[in-house]
Chains A and B, each alone.
Chain A
Amino acid sequence: MDGDTTTTARSEGDGRQGGHALPQVSAPRNPGMPLDLDRVMRVQANTSAIERRCAALPGRRSIKKDWQAAWLVRAIQCIDLTTLSGDDTPGRVRRLCAKARRPLRHDIAEALGVEGVTTGAVCVYHAMVPTAVAALKGSGIPVAAVSTGFPAGLSPYRLRVAEISESVAAGAEEIDIVISRRHVLTGDWQALYDEVAEFRAACGPAHVKAILATGELGSLRNVARASLVCMMAGADFIKTSTGKESVNATLPVTLVMLRAIRDYHELTGARVGYKPAGGISTAKDALMYLALVKEELGDRWLSPDLFRFGASSLLGDIERQLEHHLTGAYSVSWHQPMA
C-alpha cells in the first residue's frame, strides 16, 4: 500500500473565508491493512435488531432550538453538494459551485453568526471536474468526482482505473469509486479487496470514497462485510449509494457501516469517514444521521473530514428550517437562493 498516510489531499494556503479552517485536510489517511478474512467472516448484522435501534432513535434524541440550528449548520458543512445528471452543463455546475461557496442566504448566515460556512465539497461527473475546479478556486472547497464507471461499475476494468487518474489529473481531490457488487454477491472478498486497493493506489493523493451501493448488496451482513473489506483495502470514506439504486441511504445501513468503521478504528487506529448518499432530503433526516454518528462513533466524526451527506435537495430544506429558527415563521423554497 502507498505510504501516503499523512499526505493531505490539498495544498495548504487556500484562501478561506471567515477563518474557518476546513478540517478536510486534518485527518491522517487510512493506510489500509492486509485482508483479514477471518475477521470479515465473523461480522454479523441482525437486521431486525438494527431496524429497531434506528426506529427508536428519533424518539431517543431530540435536538432543539439553537442546538438544532448549529447542527443544521454542521450538516451544511458536511454536504457534498451534488449534481449527477445527464443534462449537466458548465453553467449548471458553476451555479452549484456558487451555492457551495455560499449555501446560506447572507442575512441568515449573519444572524446565526456563521458567515463563511461552505458545503463540504461539490460532487460531479468527470466531464464537469474542470468547470467545478475553476468555479471553486480559492474557496477551499474540494471537488469530488464520481468514477470507475459510475453508477454500475461495469465498464472495462482498465478504463475504470484510468478514469480515476484522469479525474485526479483534472483536479478532483476526492474520488467516489463504485465497487463491483458482484464480488460481494458472490462472496469474492479477495477480488473486492484487490479492486478497491488498486483504485486507492490510482487515486494517489486524492481521497477515495468507496461506494458500496448498499441497496444492491442483498443483506445488511453483506454491507457490514463489504464495508470492512473496503476499509482494509484503504478506503478513506465508505459511502452507501450512488443515488441511482432503488434504495439508497437508510438509517439501518448507516448503523451497520458506522459500526464497521468503529470496529476498524479499534483494530487499526485509523479513522474512516462515512458518507450516506441519496434519499436524505429533510433537515430532520439530517439531524438523525448526525445523531446516529454521534452515538455510534462520537463527536470526532461530526466533521466534514469524516462525515459527508451526498445530497442535492437537502440543503434547501435546511435553509428553510434555519430561516424558521430565526423568524419563528415557516419558510418556503423561493425564500432561498437557488443553486
Chain B
Amino acid sequence: MTVQEILETMEYGPAPESAEAALAWIEEAGGAFGHFIGGLWTEPGEGFDSRNPATGDVLARLTQATQADIDAAVAAARAAQPAWEGQGGPARARVLYALARLLQKHARLFSVLEVLDNGKPIREARDIDVPLAIRHFYYHAGMAQLMEAELPDRRAHGVCGQIVPWNFPLLMLAWKVAPALATGNAVVLKPAEYTSLTALLFAQVCQEAGVPPGVVNIVTGDGAAGRMLVHAEVDKIAFTGSTAVGREIRRATAGSGKALTLELGGKSPYIVFDDADLDSAVEGLVDAIWFNAGQVCCAGSRLLVQEGVAERLHHKLKARMDRLRMGDPLDKSIDLGAVVDPVQLAAIRSMVDAGGAEGDVYHAAVQVPEGCYYPPTLVTGLAPSARLMQEEIFGPVLVSTTFRTPSEAVALANDTRYGLAASVWSENVNLALDVAPRLAAGVVWVNGTNFFDAAAGFGGVRESGFGREGGWEGLGAYLREDWPAPLPIPHPAPALAAPQAAPGIDRTAKMYVGGKQARPDGGYSRAIRAAGGHLLGHVGVGNRKDIRNAVDAAERAEAWSRMTGHSRAQILYYVAENLAARTGEFAARIDAMTGGDDGSKEVEAAIRRLFTWAAWADKHDGAAKGVPMRGLALALNEPIGVIGALCPAEAPLLGLISAMGPAVATGNRVVLIPSEPFPLAATDFYQVLDTSDVPAGVVNIVTGAPADLAPVLAAHAAVGAVWNFADPALTRAIEEKAADTIKRTWSLRTDWHAPQAEGRSFLRAATEVKTVWVPFGE
C-alpha cells in the first residue's frame, strides 16, 4: 500500500514484534529440552511437541517426566534445601534480587517466547505478565531479607511441588517460585505441557543468578507428571489450575500431612450499577474478559448490570467489541490472540453452541483469523439458571443478566460455587464499599478489574480454592511452625460390673443447637463415667442430622459475622466472667471425668484463653497494601463463615474453648464436637453460653463420635473449614470429603496449655484475606 492509499483507509497496518531472538534461543538448545534437575539439564527424552497455537508450528520437543525424573528432581530438591534455608534470609534475598534483575534484562525474550508458546498478544506478555513476574521477585527478595526478623518462629516446609497452568506460564511460575525461595524452600515445578518454554528459560536464568543446584528444579510433562509430583515425597503442593484437578489433588494428598494451596477456577461477577461510568465499565470489560482471550481464572465473565442501564451498556459493549482486533499475537496492535490449543478452542465452542440458545449470542464483528481463534462473544438475556451463567468457559465469552437492587446484585453475584474475584462499578463510594465486603470472593476490584501486585494477596474462597499468593498472607503458605507435643489423653473409666445410679437428681446433657438444648436426633445416649467408674451422666450420640441442624443454625447466625469486633469482644468477656463464677463446678467436673486433680488449672487456663480471644476480637487488623497504584488495596480479614471443629480429647474444657475462641472472635460461627471421652464439660458449658448473651447459632455443640461426625461436617457444603484437633487418624477422611467443596482443613495436635495454642496461627486459620482494590482520583 502506498502512503496515499493508506491515507484513504487510515488502517493501523502491521506492527510485528520479531520472533527471531526467541526462536534462536530454542535453536541453540537443539530444539529439544530435557528437565532441569539439580542444576543440570537431563538429556531430552520421550515426550511431546510444544506448538505455537497461532500458527500450529512446532516450537520445540519437550520431555515427558517419568517417575524416575520426578524422584530425581525431588531428591535433588531435598538434598539442596537445608543448605538453602541455612544460608539465611539476607543471602537468599541477594539471589532473588539477581533473579529479578535477570528477568528484567531478558524481559523481551521472555515476552516473545511466552507469546509464541501461549498465543497471547505481545502487549499483554510485555506490559503485564513479565513486569508482574519481575515485580514478584523484587518483592520477595525483600521478604527473604525481612522474614527472619518479622516471622521468627516460622520455618520453610522443605520441598514444594508446584504445578502451574498454561494461561500465565511465567507469571504463575513467579507467584509460586518467588515466595518458596524467599522462605528457604526448594521447589520442583511442573509447567503446563502446552506452555513450558518460559519455565525452561527461567531455569537458565536460575543458573545465571546463582541459585544453588537443586533449589529450583523444572520437570516437564502432562497431567500424569503432575500426578506423580503430587504423590512424591514433597512437603507442600501449590497448584493453580482447574477446580476439577484441584479437587483431585486435595483427595490425593488427604491425610498425607502435605501442606496445600489451591488457586482454582472462577465465574467472577462484574457488577455495573446504574450510576457507573458506563464507558469505563465497558472498557473494563475488555480487560476483564478479553484479556488473554478470557483464559483467566479471575476473568470477569459474568456481567451483572442494573436493569435500567442494561440496554445502554450492552449497546456500548457491542460497539466496543466490534473494534477489538484479533490476529497474530506478535502484532503489537492486537487485542486478542490465539486460544492456547485446539482442545481449548473446541471446549469453548461446544459450551457456547450448547448453552447459547438460552440467551442471545452476539459475536463481535471482527475478522477472525483461520486457526485457533474464537471471536469476542457476549451472551445476553441469560437467567441465573442457565449453564453458561454458572460454568466456567475459560474463553472470550461474556455472559450477562440484570438485577434491580444492590442486594439483588450481591445475591446474584454470590449465587455460584466459585469465589475468586469480583468487580463493582459505581461512582457512589457508599454503594461500592458496602457491596465489596458482601461479595463471596477473595479479590474485589472497585471500578476496575484484573489489578494484580506482589504486595496484595490473590486467591479464592469456596471452590475457587484456598490460600493466598502475594503479600505476607501469601508468604505464610510457604512456612510452617513447630508445635509443642500434646499432653497424654487420660484413660476413660471402664464401666462398673453393675450399673450404678448417678448421685442427686438425674441431669440430662443435651446437644446445643441454635441457642437451644436439643435431644439427639437418633434417640441414643451414651453413659459417661467418673474415673472411679460410677455414672456421671449421659450424653446424646449425635448423628448426621444433628450436624445438619447445627450447621443450619450456624448459617442462620450470619449476623455474628457482621457484628463489630468490639461487640464480639464484650460477649467473649461475658462468657469468661460467667465461666469464672462457676470455676469450682467445672473443675470438679473435669477432675471427676479424667481422674485428675488439676481441673481448676484447666478452668483457669480456659478463662484466660477467652480473655485472649476477646482481646483479639477487635485487633485482627487488616492492612492497606503498598501497591503501585493511586488507590488502596485493602487486605480485609474476613471470617471463613461456619467452622466445624473436632475438639481435643485430653483437655475437655480448654480444648473446646481453644477452638471456639479464635473462631467466634473473628466472626465465625462454630459447630463443636467436644472431647469424645469427656464431653460433660462441654454440655455444662452451654449453660454458660446461655447466660452470656451469645446469639443463637453462633456456638453449636454436637456430642458424639468424631469418627462418625467429622466426615459429615467435612462434606457439608455450608461448612467453610474443618479443624481436627481430636484425632490425626481422622484427617484423611476429612480431607477427602473436604475435596468435594474445596474447603480448608487444619489438623493439629498440641499442648493446649502452651502459649502457642492461642497464637496467631489460629487467627490465620479462622480468617481469609479479601483484597479490595479501590483506585481513586477525581
A residues lining the B interface (CB < 8 Å): 44-53, 56, 59-71, 73-74, 112-114, 219-221, 259, 290-291, 294-295, 298-299, 302
Contacts and interface: CB of A to CB of B under 8 A. Distances in A.
B631 interface: yes
Nearest to B2: A113
B448 A52 contact: yes
B7 A74 contact: yes
Interface in B1-32: 1-4, 6-7, 9-15
A68 B278 CA distance: 32
B447 A46 contact: yes
A66 B277 contact: no
A180 to B, nearest CB: 22
Contact of B778 (A53, A56, A219): A219
A50 B2 contact: no
29 contacts: A46-B280, A46-B425, A46-B447, A48-B630, A49-B280, A49-B283, A59-B123, A59-B126, A59-B127, A59-B332, A60-B123, A61-B12, A61-B332, A64-B15, A66-B3, A66-B6, A67-B6, A67-B12, A69-B3, A70-B4, A70-B6, A70-B7, A71-B10, A74-B10, A112-B3, A113-B3, A219-B778, A294-B10, A294-B12
B523 interface: no
Contacts of A62: 12, 15, 332-333
Interface in B116-137: 123, 126-127
B335 A64 contact: no
* Best-surrounded residue of A47, A66, A67, A69 (most CB of chain B within 10 A): A67
Interface string B283-311: 11000000000000000000000000000
A299 B8 CA distance: 10
A302 B13 contact: no
B427 interface: yes
Contacts, number: 104
Contacts of B775: 48-49, 52
A109 to B, nearest CB: 10
Interface string B252-286: 00000000000000000000000111111101100
B13 A295 contact: no
B13 A48 contact: no
* Best-surrounded residue of B14, B276, B778 (most CB of chain A within 10 A): B778
A113 B7 CA distance: 11
Contacts of B777: 47-48, 51
A20 to B, nearest CB: 9
Given A59-B123, A60-B335, A302 B280 contact: no
Nearest to A299: B10
Q: Main SS of chain A's interface residues?
A: helix
A47 B427 CA distance: 10
Contacts of B630: 48
A280 B427 CA distance: 31
Given A44-B427, A46-B425, A67-B12, 13 more contacts: A44-B276, A46-B277, A49-B283, A51-B777, A52-B448, A53-B283, A61-B332, A66-B2, A67-B6, A74-B7, A112-B3, A114-B7, A259-B279
Contacts of B4: 70, 113-114
A68 B13 CA distance: 9
Contacts of A259: 279
* Best-surrounded residue of B14, B276, B279, B332 (most CB of chain A within 10 A): B279
Given A48-B776, A61-B333, A66-B13, A73 B427 contact: no
Contacts of A63: 12-13, 15, 333
Contacts of B275: 44
B424 to A, nearest CB: 12
B280 A53 contact: yes
Contacts of A114: 3-4, 7
B314 to A, nearest CB: 14
A294 B323 CA distance: 9
A68 B7 CA distance: 10
A40 to B, nearest CB: 14
A47 B778 CA distance: 6
Contact of A66 (B1, B283, B323, B332): B1
Interface in B230-252: none
A44 B323 contact: no
A291 B333 CA distance: 11
Given A48-B448, A59-B127, A70-B6, A64 B13 contact: yes
Contacts of B7: 70, 73-74, 114
